[in-house]
Protein backbone atom coordinates (compact mmCIF):
# COMPACT_ATOMS: atom_id res chain seq x y z
CA UNK A 1 0.00 0.00 0.00
CA UNK A 2 1.29 3.44 -0.89
CA UNK A 3 1.85 6.37 1.44
CA UNK A 4 2.39 10.15 1.21
CA UNK A 5 5.85 11.46 0.24
CA UNK A 6 8.17 11.94 3.16
CA UNK A 7 10.10 15.12 3.69
CA UNK A 8 13.62 15.03 2.30
CA UNK A 9 15.24 15.58 5.66
CA UNK A 10 13.55 12.56 7.16
CA UNK A 11 14.32 10.48 4.08
CA UNK A 12 18.02 11.30 4.34
CA UNK A 13 18.11 10.63 8.05
CA UNK A 14 16.20 7.36 7.84
CA UNK A 15 18.21 5.94 4.97
CA UNK A 16 21.73 7.32 5.33
CA UNK A 17 22.78 4.44 7.57
CA UNK A 18 21.00 1.88 5.42
CA UNK A 19 22.68 2.27 2.01
CA UNK A 20 23.27 -1.09 0.34
CA UNK A 21 26.72 -2.41 1.11
CA UNK A 22 29.19 -3.41 -1.55
CA UNK A 23 29.06 -7.06 -2.56
CA UNK A 24 31.27 -9.44 -0.62
CA UNK A 25 32.83 -12.63 -1.96
CA UNK A 26 31.13 -15.81 -0.90
CA UNK A 27 32.50 -16.93 2.49
CA UNK A 28 34.41 -20.17 2.73
CA UNK A 29 33.01 -23.01 4.77
CA UNK A 30 35.71 -22.36 7.35
CA UNK A 31 34.81 -18.69 7.69
CA UNK A 32 31.04 -19.24 7.55
CA UNK A 33 30.45 -18.90 11.29
CA UNK A 34 31.98 -15.42 11.43
CA UNK A 35 30.34 -13.97 8.32
CA UNK A 36 27.24 -11.80 8.87
CA UNK A 37 23.79 -13.05 7.95
CA UNK A 38 22.51 -10.60 5.37
CA UNK A 39 18.82 -9.71 5.04
CA UNK A 40 17.82 -7.69 2.02
CA UNK A 41 15.21 -4.93 2.39
CA UNK A 42 13.63 -3.67 -0.83
CA UNK A 43 11.47 -0.64 -0.11
CA UNK A 44 9.97 2.60 -1.35
CA UNK A 45 12.35 4.70 0.74
CA UNK A 46 11.06 8.04 -0.53
CA UNK A 47 7.69 7.47 1.12
CA UNK A 48 6.75 7.36 4.79
CA UNK A 49 5.98 3.64 4.77
CA UNK A 50 8.97 2.83 2.59
CA UNK A 51 11.45 4.68 4.79
CA UNK A 52 10.02 2.95 7.84
CA UNK A 53 10.72 -0.50 6.40
CA UNK A 54 14.54 -0.51 6.48
CA UNK A 55 14.38 1.62 9.62
CA UNK A 56 12.36 -0.98 11.51
CA UNK A 57 14.53 -3.78 10.17
CA UNK A 58 17.72 -2.03 11.26
CA UNK A 59 16.49 -1.54 14.83
CA UNK A 60 15.72 -5.27 15.08
CA UNK A 61 19.15 -6.14 13.68
CA UNK A 62 20.85 -3.80 16.17
CA UNK A 63 18.97 -5.40 19.07
CA UNK A 64 19.78 -8.93 17.93
CA UNK A 65 23.45 -8.06 17.39
CA UNK A 66 23.68 -6.43 20.82
CA UNK A 67 22.69 -9.81 22.28
CA UNK A 68 25.31 -11.76 20.34
CA UNK A 69 23.61 -12.19 16.98
CA UNK A 70 22.34 -15.50 15.62
CA UNK A 71 24.47 -18.54 16.36
CA UNK A 72 27.41 -16.18 16.81
CA UNK A 73 26.81 -14.30 13.55
CA UNK A 74 25.65 -10.70 13.22
CA UNK A 75 22.59 -9.65 11.24
CA UNK A 76 23.35 -7.16 8.47
CA UNK A 77 20.57 -5.20 6.71
CA UNK A 78 21.22 -4.50 3.03
CA UNK A 79 18.77 -1.86 1.82
CA UNK A 80 17.62 -1.09 -1.72
CA UNK A 81 15.43 1.76 -2.99
CA UNK A 82 12.98 0.36 -5.54
CA UNK A 83 11.55 3.80 -6.42
CA UNK A 84 8.06 2.24 -6.22
CA UNK A 85 8.89 0.33 -9.42
CA UNK A 86 8.34 -3.37 -10.07
CA UNK A 87 11.22 -3.41 -12.57
CA UNK A 88 13.61 -1.76 -10.12
CA UNK A 89 12.44 -4.18 -7.44
CA UNK A 90 13.24 -7.19 -9.60
CA UNK A 91 16.71 -5.81 -10.35
CA UNK A 92 17.28 -5.19 -6.64
CA UNK A 93 16.13 -8.72 -5.80
CA UNK A 94 18.52 -10.22 -8.36
CA UNK A 95 21.37 -8.11 -7.00
CA UNK A 96 20.53 -9.06 -3.43
CA UNK A 97 20.76 -12.76 -4.26
CA UNK A 98 23.62 -12.89 -6.77
CA UNK A 99 25.89 -10.08 -5.59
CA UNK A 100 25.12 -9.34 -1.97
CA UNK A 101 24.46 -12.96 -0.97
CA UNK A 102 21.47 -12.29 1.28
CA UNK A 103 19.72 -15.12 3.11
CA UNK A 104 16.21 -13.63 2.97
CA UNK A 105 14.41 -10.60 1.53
CA UNK A 106 11.81 -8.30 3.10
CA UNK A 107 10.13 -6.46 0.25
CA UNK A 108 7.59 -3.73 -0.45
CA UNK A 109 4.16 -2.63 0.67
CA UNK A 110 2.87 -2.45 -2.92
CA UNK A 111 1.02 -5.58 -3.99
CA UNK A 112 1.97 -5.25 -7.66
CA UNK A 113 5.66 -5.14 -6.69
CA UNK A 114 5.45 -8.22 -4.50
CA UNK A 115 3.58 -10.13 -7.19
CA UNK A 116 6.39 -9.26 -9.63
CA UNK A 117 9.01 -10.58 -7.19
CA UNK A 118 7.32 -13.89 -6.46
CA UNK A 119 8.51 -15.75 -9.61
CA UNK A 120 12.08 -14.73 -8.75
CA UNK A 121 11.71 -15.92 -5.18
CA UNK A 122 10.60 -19.30 -6.52
CA UNK A 123 13.27 -19.46 -9.21
CA UNK A 124 16.16 -18.46 -6.94
CA UNK A 125 14.91 -20.31 -3.85
CA UNK A 126 15.07 -17.12 -1.82
CA UNK A 127 12.76 -16.63 1.20
CA UNK A 128 10.64 -13.53 0.60
CA UNK A 129 8.28 -11.83 3.03
CA UNK A 130 6.25 -8.66 2.51
CA UNK A 131 5.82 -6.18 5.38
CA UNK A 132 2.82 -4.37 3.94
CA UNK A 133 1.29 -5.59 0.68
CA UNK A 134 -2.25 -6.92 1.02
CA UNK A 135 -3.50 -8.64 -2.14
CA UNK A 136 -4.99 -12.11 -1.69
CA UNK A 137 -3.11 -13.09 -4.85
CA UNK A 138 0.21 -13.03 -2.97
CA UNK A 139 -0.45 -16.35 -1.22
CA UNK A 140 -2.31 -17.99 -4.11
CA UNK A 141 0.81 -19.39 -5.86
CA UNK A 142 2.01 -20.90 -2.59
CA UNK A 143 -1.27 -22.75 -2.18
CA UNK A 144 -1.59 -23.91 -5.79
CA UNK A 145 2.06 -24.96 -6.33
CA UNK A 146 3.61 -25.31 -2.91
CA UNK A 147 6.91 -26.97 -3.85
CA UNK A 148 7.73 -24.25 -6.34
CA UNK A 149 6.54 -21.23 -4.35
CA UNK A 150 7.04 -22.26 -0.72
CA UNK A 151 9.69 -19.54 -0.24
CA UNK A 152 7.01 -16.80 -0.23
CA UNK A 153 5.47 -15.54 3.03
CA UNK A 154 2.84 -12.86 3.56
CA UNK A 155 3.79 -10.79 6.59
CA UNK A 156 0.80 -8.43 6.52
CA UNK A 157 -2.94 -8.95 6.70
CA UNK A 158 -4.44 -10.06 3.40
CA UNK A 159 -7.17 -7.97 1.83
CA UNK A 160 -9.67 -10.63 2.91
CA UNK A 161 -8.52 -10.35 6.51
CA UNK A 162 -8.61 -6.56 6.36
CA UNK A 163 -12.17 -6.50 5.08
CA UNK A 164 -13.22 -8.87 7.85
CA UNK A 165 -11.47 -6.74 10.46
CA UNK A 166 -13.25 -3.61 9.18
CA UNK A 167 -16.59 -5.43 9.30
CA UNK A 168 -15.92 -6.74 12.80
CA UNK A 169 -15.14 -3.21 13.95
CA UNK A 170 -18.12 -1.76 12.06
CA UNK A 171 -20.47 -4.15 13.83
CA UNK A 172 -19.22 -3.00 17.24
CA UNK A 173 -18.70 0.72 16.56
CA UNK A 174 -21.16 1.67 13.84
CA UNK A 175 -24.09 -0.74 14.02
CA UNK A 176 -24.21 -1.45 17.74
CA UNK A 177 -22.63 1.83 18.86
CA UNK A 178 -24.17 4.37 16.46
CA UNK A 179 -27.17 2.44 15.09
CA UNK A 180 -26.06 2.82 11.48
CA UNK A 181 -27.87 0.78 8.83
CA UNK A 182 -26.45 1.65 5.41
CA UNK A 183 -23.00 2.02 3.84
CA UNK A 184 -21.40 3.02 0.55
CA UNK A 185 -18.07 1.53 -0.52
CA UNK A 186 -15.42 3.88 -1.96
CA UNK A 187 -12.18 2.22 -3.06
CA UNK A 188 -9.29 2.94 -5.38
CA UNK A 189 -8.83 0.64 -8.34
CA UNK A 190 -5.81 -1.45 -7.35
CA UNK A 191 -4.84 -5.09 -6.98
CA UNK A 192 -5.27 -5.11 -3.22
CA UNK A 193 -8.76 -3.54 -3.23
CA UNK A 194 -10.44 -6.06 -5.53
CA UNK A 195 -10.58 -8.77 -2.84
CA UNK A 196 -11.04 -6.09 -0.17
CA UNK A 197 -14.19 -4.82 -1.89
CA UNK A 198 -15.45 -8.35 -2.47
CA UNK A 199 -15.02 -8.92 1.24
CA UNK A 200 -16.86 -5.69 2.05
CA UNK A 201 -19.76 -6.68 -0.21
CA UNK A 202 -20.09 -9.95 1.66
CA UNK A 203 -19.42 -9.01 5.28
CA UNK A 204 -20.92 -5.51 5.64
CA UNK A 205 -24.51 -6.81 5.27
CA UNK A 206 -23.70 -9.56 7.79
CA UNK A 207 -22.52 -6.85 10.17
CA UNK A 208 -25.81 -4.99 9.71
CA UNK A 209 -24.90 -2.43 7.03
CA UNK A 210 -26.79 -2.55 3.73
CA UNK A 211 -24.52 -1.54 0.83
CA UNK A 212 -26.30 1.20 -1.17
CA UNK A 213 -23.50 2.18 -3.56
CA UNK A 214 -20.04 1.04 -4.62
CA UNK A 215 -17.53 3.29 -6.35
CA UNK A 216 -14.06 2.30 -7.58
CA UNK A 217 -11.96 5.22 -8.75
CA UNK A 218 -8.58 5.65 -10.41
CA UNK A 219 -5.65 6.20 -8.02
CA UNK A 220 -4.81 9.20 -10.23
CA UNK A 221 -8.05 10.96 -9.24
CA UNK A 222 -7.46 14.52 -8.03
CA UNK A 223 -11.03 15.85 -7.76
CA UNK A 224 -13.34 13.79 -5.56
CA UNK A 225 -16.25 16.24 -5.79
CA UNK A 226 -18.26 14.14 -8.30
CA UNK A 227 -17.64 11.01 -6.25
CA UNK A 228 -18.76 12.62 -3.01
CA UNK A 229 -21.80 14.10 -4.77
CA UNK A 230 -22.83 10.70 -6.07
CA UNK A 231 -22.36 9.05 -2.68
CA UNK A 232 -24.18 11.85 -0.88
CA UNK A 233 -27.13 11.33 -3.21
CA UNK A 234 -27.50 7.74 -1.98
CA UNK A 235 -27.67 8.99 1.62
CA UNK A 236 -25.55 6.26 3.26
CA UNK A 237 -24.92 6.38 6.97
CA UNK A 238 -21.20 5.81 6.37
CA UNK A 239 -18.61 5.66 3.57
CA UNK A 240 -16.42 2.57 3.91
CA UNK A 241 -13.07 3.15 2.23
CA UNK A 242 -10.30 1.12 0.67
CA UNK A 243 -7.66 3.75 -0.14
CA UNK A 244 -3.89 3.78 -0.01
CA UNK A 245 -2.29 5.39 -3.05
CA UNK A 246 -4.52 8.39 -2.33
CA UNK A 247 -5.59 9.74 1.03
CA UNK A 248 -4.66 13.38 1.49
CA UNK A 249 -6.80 14.72 -1.36
CA UNK A 250 -10.09 12.97 -0.53
CA UNK A 251 -9.62 13.81 3.14
CA UNK A 252 -9.04 17.50 2.48
CA UNK A 253 -12.00 17.68 0.09
CA UNK A 254 -14.22 15.74 2.51
CA UNK A 255 -13.50 18.39 5.14
CA UNK A 256 -13.56 21.46 2.87
CA UNK A 257 -16.82 20.42 1.22
CA UNK A 258 -18.33 19.41 4.57
CA UNK A 259 -19.49 16.06 3.19
CA UNK A 260 -22.27 15.06 5.59
CA UNK A 261 -21.28 11.38 5.74
CA UNK A 262 -18.63 9.95 8.09
CA UNK A 263 -15.84 7.72 6.76
CA UNK A 264 -14.61 4.38 8.02
CA UNK A 265 -12.50 1.48 6.74
CA UNK A 266 -8.93 1.52 5.39
CA UNK A 267 -7.16 4.80 4.72
CA UNK A 268 -3.55 3.71 4.61
CA UNK A 269 -2.00 7.17 4.30
CA UNK A 270 -3.75 8.06 7.56
CA UNK A 271 -1.40 5.58 9.23
CA UNK A 272 1.49 7.96 8.53
CA UNK A 273 2.53 10.07 11.51
CA UNK A 274 2.62 13.16 9.25
CA UNK A 275 -0.95 12.74 7.99
CA UNK A 276 -2.40 15.39 10.31
CA UNK A 277 0.06 17.96 9.03
CA UNK A 278 -0.22 16.78 5.44
CA UNK A 279 -3.96 17.51 5.54
CA UNK A 280 -3.68 20.69 7.63
CA UNK A 281 -5.91 19.11 10.26
CA UNK A 282 -8.59 17.95 7.81
CA UNK A 283 -7.83 14.46 9.13
CA UNK A 284 -9.95 15.20 12.22
CA UNK A 285 -12.40 12.31 12.49
CA UNK A 286 -10.70 10.06 9.89
CA UNK A 287 -10.41 6.48 11.15
CA UNK A 288 -8.48 3.59 9.64
CA UNK A 289 -7.63 -0.02 10.18
CA UNK A 290 -4.04 -0.50 11.36
CA UNK A 291 -1.88 -3.19 12.94
CA UNK A 292 -0.17 -0.89 15.47
CA UNK A 293 0.32 2.73 16.52
CA UNK A 294 2.98 4.36 18.64
CA UNK A 295 0.59 5.13 21.50
CA UNK A 296 -1.14 1.76 21.87
CA UNK A 297 0.27 -1.33 23.56
CA UNK A 298 -0.98 -3.95 21.11
CA UNK A 299 1.62 -6.13 22.84
CA UNK A 300 4.33 -5.27 25.39
CA UNK A 301 6.73 -4.80 22.44
CA UNK A 302 4.76 -2.15 20.53
CA UNK A 303 5.52 1.00 22.48
CA UNK A 304 9.22 0.22 23.17
CA UNK A 305 9.83 -0.32 19.46
CA UNK A 306 7.99 2.89 18.53
CA UNK A 307 10.05 4.81 21.08
CA UNK A 308 13.30 3.34 19.74
CA UNK A 309 12.29 4.20 16.17
CA UNK A 310 11.47 7.79 17.10
CA UNK A 311 14.72 8.18 19.02
CA UNK A 312 16.70 6.98 15.99
CA UNK A 313 14.77 8.64 13.14
CA UNK A 314 12.90 11.53 14.75
CA UNK A 315 9.37 10.37 13.92
CA UNK A 316 6.90 7.64 14.80
CA UNK A 317 7.08 4.55 12.58
CA UNK A 318 4.64 3.94 9.75
CA UNK A 319 3.01 0.51 9.72
CA UNK A 320 5.75 -1.26 7.76
CA UNK A 321 8.24 -0.25 10.45
CA UNK A 322 6.44 -2.51 12.92
CA UNK A 323 6.11 -5.44 10.53
CA UNK A 324 9.68 -5.21 9.20
CA UNK A 325 10.97 -5.13 12.79
CA UNK A 326 9.00 -8.26 13.60
CA UNK A 327 10.05 -9.96 10.37
CA UNK A 328 13.77 -9.60 11.08
CA UNK A 329 13.20 -11.34 14.42
CA UNK A 330 11.09 -14.02 12.71
CA UNK A 331 13.78 -14.67 10.09
CA UNK A 332 16.54 -14.66 12.70
CA UNK A 333 14.63 -17.11 14.91
CA UNK A 334 14.04 -19.43 11.95
CA UNK A 335 17.75 -19.41 11.10
CA UNK A 336 18.64 -20.04 14.72
CA UNK A 337 16.28 -23.03 14.97
CA UNK A 338 17.42 -24.38 11.61
CA UNK A 339 21.06 -23.91 12.51
CA UNK A 340 21.52 -22.89 8.90
CA UNK A 341 20.72 -20.35 6.19
CA UNK A 342 19.78 -23.14 3.81
CA UNK A 343 16.54 -21.83 2.24
CA UNK A 344 14.60 -25.09 2.51
CA UNK A 345 15.52 -25.47 6.17
CA UNK A 346 14.60 -21.84 6.76
CA UNK A 347 11.19 -22.32 5.13
CA UNK A 348 10.50 -25.33 7.34
CA UNK A 349 11.21 -23.24 10.43
CA UNK A 350 9.40 -20.13 9.19
CA UNK A 351 6.29 -22.29 8.86
CA UNK A 352 6.57 -23.07 12.59
CA UNK A 353 6.68 -19.37 13.54
CA UNK A 354 4.82 -18.57 16.74
CA UNK A 355 6.14 -15.18 17.73
CA UNK A 356 4.64 -12.35 19.74
CA UNK A 357 5.77 -9.22 17.94
CA UNK A 358 4.74 -5.58 17.90
CA UNK A 359 1.50 -6.29 15.96
CA UNK A 360 0.30 -9.36 17.85
CA UNK A 361 0.93 -13.09 17.81
CA UNK A 362 2.47 -13.87 14.44
CA UNK A 363 1.74 -17.26 12.88
CA UNK A 364 1.34 -18.35 9.26
CA UNK A 365 -1.47 -20.39 7.73
CA UNK A 366 -0.51 -23.94 6.78
CA UNK A 367 -0.13 -25.73 3.51
CA UNK A 368 -3.77 -26.83 3.31
CA UNK A 369 -5.23 -23.41 4.06
CA UNK A 370 -6.50 -21.15 1.28
CA UNK A 371 -3.98 -18.50 2.32
CA UNK A 372 -0.91 -20.72 2.65
CA UNK A 373 1.92 -18.79 4.36
CA UNK A 374 -0.44 -15.86 4.95
CA UNK A 375 -0.53 -14.05 8.28
CA UNK A 376 -3.14 -15.55 10.60
CA UNK A 377 -6.01 -13.21 11.50
CA UNK A 378 -8.09 -13.43 14.65
CA UNK A 379 -8.40 -12.48 18.32
CA UNK A 380 -5.62 -14.93 19.27
CA UNK A 381 -3.40 -13.92 16.36
CA UNK A 382 -3.09 -10.53 14.59
CA UNK A 383 -6.50 -8.91 14.91
CA UNK A 384 -5.80 -5.38 13.74
CA UNK A 385 -7.13 -2.24 15.37
CA UNK A 386 -9.05 0.89 14.43
CA UNK A 387 -7.63 4.29 15.29
CA UNK A 388 -9.09 7.70 14.58
CA UNK A 389 -7.39 11.07 14.17
CA UNK A 390 -8.60 13.26 17.05
CA UNK A 391 -7.03 16.61 17.94
CA UNK A 392 -3.85 15.79 16.05
CA UNK A 393 -3.38 12.34 17.59
CA UNK A 394 -4.06 8.76 16.55
CA UNK A 395 -6.56 7.52 19.15
CA UNK A 396 -7.31 3.80 19.27
CA UNK A 397 -11.07 3.17 19.34
CA UNK A 398 -11.25 -0.61 18.65
CA UNK A 399 -11.03 -3.29 19.95
CA UNK A 400 -12.27 -2.35 23.40
CA UNK A 401 -9.46 -4.19 25.22
CA UNK A 402 -6.81 -1.78 23.90
CA UNK A 403 -8.94 1.31 23.11
CA UNK A 404 -7.94 4.61 24.67
CA UNK A 405 -10.83 6.66 23.30
CA UNK A 406 -14.24 6.55 21.62
CA UNK A 407 -15.18 7.01 17.98
CA UNK A 408 -16.44 10.54 17.29
CA UNK A 409 -16.96 12.54 14.11
CA UNK A 410 -16.85 16.27 13.27
CA UNK A 411 -20.21 18.02 13.52
CA UNK A 412 -20.65 18.25 9.73
CA UNK A 413 -20.38 14.46 9.37
CA UNK A 414 -21.95 13.39 12.63
CA UNK A 415 -24.50 10.58 12.25
CA UNK A 416 -28.10 11.65 12.91
CA UNK A 417 -29.20 8.27 14.30
Q: Percent of the chain at pLDDT above 90? A: 81
Tell me the C-alpha distance between 77 and 329, whole Å: 12
Q: What CATH number belongs to 8-157+297-362?
A: 3.40.50.2300
Give residue 416's pLDDT: 61
Asked if residues 53 and 41 have their Cβ atoms less than 8 Å apart, the reply is yes
Q: How far apart are CA 191 and CA 176, in angstroms?
A: 32
Residue 108 has pLDDT above 80, yes or no: yes
Q: Cα–chain-centroid distance for residue 233?
A: 33
Q: Round the average pLDDT of the chain to a whole number and report it.
A: 90
Q: What is the reported pTM?
A: 0.85
CATH 3.40.50.2300 domain range(s) in the chain: 8-157+297-362, 160-290+384-413
392-409 average pLDDT score: 94
CATH 3.40.50.2300 fits 160-290+384-413, yes or no: yes
Instruction: List the one residue out of 264, 293, 260 whose CA is nearest residue 171.
Output: 264
Cα first-last separation, the chain: 34
Average pLDDT in the 313-320 region?
A: 91
Least confident of 165-179, 242-256, 327-341: 242-256
Count the Cβ atoms, other than its own, within 10 Å of residue 245.
20
- Residues 331-336, mean pLDDT to the nearest whole number: 97
Mean pLDDT score, 99-128: 96
Mean pLDDT across 184-188: 96
Amino acid sequence: MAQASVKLSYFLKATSALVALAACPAPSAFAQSSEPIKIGVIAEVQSIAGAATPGGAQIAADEINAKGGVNGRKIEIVSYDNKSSSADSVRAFQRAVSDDKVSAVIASYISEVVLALEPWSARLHMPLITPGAASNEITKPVHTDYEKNKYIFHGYLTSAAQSQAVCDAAKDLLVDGMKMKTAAIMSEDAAWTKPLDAGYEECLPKAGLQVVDHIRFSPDTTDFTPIFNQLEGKKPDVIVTGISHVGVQPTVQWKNQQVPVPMFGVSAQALSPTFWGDTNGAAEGIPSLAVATATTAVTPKTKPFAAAFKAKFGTDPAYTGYTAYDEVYIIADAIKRAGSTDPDKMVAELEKTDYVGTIGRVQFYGRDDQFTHGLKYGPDAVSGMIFQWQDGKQVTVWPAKIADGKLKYPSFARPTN
